[in-house]
Structure 1
């Protein structure tokens, strides 16, 4: 489950920000996890709960935004929304798609005290 490694990375970011900004508690962590990122939000929630135990983010709410996947279709020269990798273009049915959004994962916001 690579989500545990991702959660450890999130915790590392939180610790770095805490050292730089001087906060001691995190109440809310907001993530942007694109629909095409191959990250399971439920596994991420579980992993986050595990890696934050006993630390400054223990008990923090994890809010996950799921932006839709977008790809540029080379066949019809348009940007389209796709639900998953490997899906055809919803406009022309072509499969020559280049993902342009929705494959990211990033920490968007920390609510701290």
Structure 2
């Protein structure tokens, strides 16, 4: 399950971001995961719960924003969803596309610090 190594990297990077911003704890981490990134969101959530234990993210929640895989057809200037499994043929002009525009993302987009304790 490679999601555990991904979750561990997310926790480590989120801790670094939080420390750089002067925060001790993190309440949530948002990640964008592309449809073709090879990551199973449910497995990532489970792995995140394991990886966050004993860290500044111990009580943090993981927010996963899924990104649809989309390709561009140069022949008819149309962007289209490629689906899963991916099908890189333009549904409009029936030509193949080699221009993947989205769907391989795996990035942290937000680290929300926990509310300061009085």
Fold shared per TM-score above 0.5: yes
Per-residue deviation, 1:75: 4.7
Aligned-pair distance for 1:89?
2.5
Aligned residue pairs: how many? 113
In 2 relative to 1, CA 85–92 (structure 1 residues): closer, same or farther, beyond 3 Å?
A: farther
Structure 2 residue runs of 5 or longer lacking an equivalent are none
Q: Where in structure 2 are the equivalents of 1:1-113 lying within 5 Å?
A: 1-84=1-84, 86-87=86-87, 88-113=89-114
The CA distance in 2 between the partners of 1:112 and 1:10, in whole Å, is 15
C-alpha change, 1:75 and 1:84, in structure 2 (3 Å) is: farther
Per-residue CA deviations over 1:32-62 (Å, capped at 9, x if unaligned) read: 1112211100110011000001111012111
The CA distance in 2 between the partners of 1:33 and 1:86, in whole Å, is: 16
For residues 90 and 4 of structure 1, the distance between their equivalents in structure 2, rounded to whole angstroms, comes to 37
* Counterparts of 1:89 and 1:104, CA distance in 2: 22
Secondary structure of the 1:103 match is: coil
The TM-score, its normalising length taken from structure 1, stands at: 0.86
How does the TM-score come out when normalised to structure 2?
0.83
Instruction: In structure 1, list runs of 5 or more residues that go unmatched.
Output: none
CA distance in 1, matches of 2:47, 2:75: 40
Q: Using a 3 Å threshold, how does the CA distance of structure 1 residues 68 and 11 change in structure 2: closer, same or farther? A: same
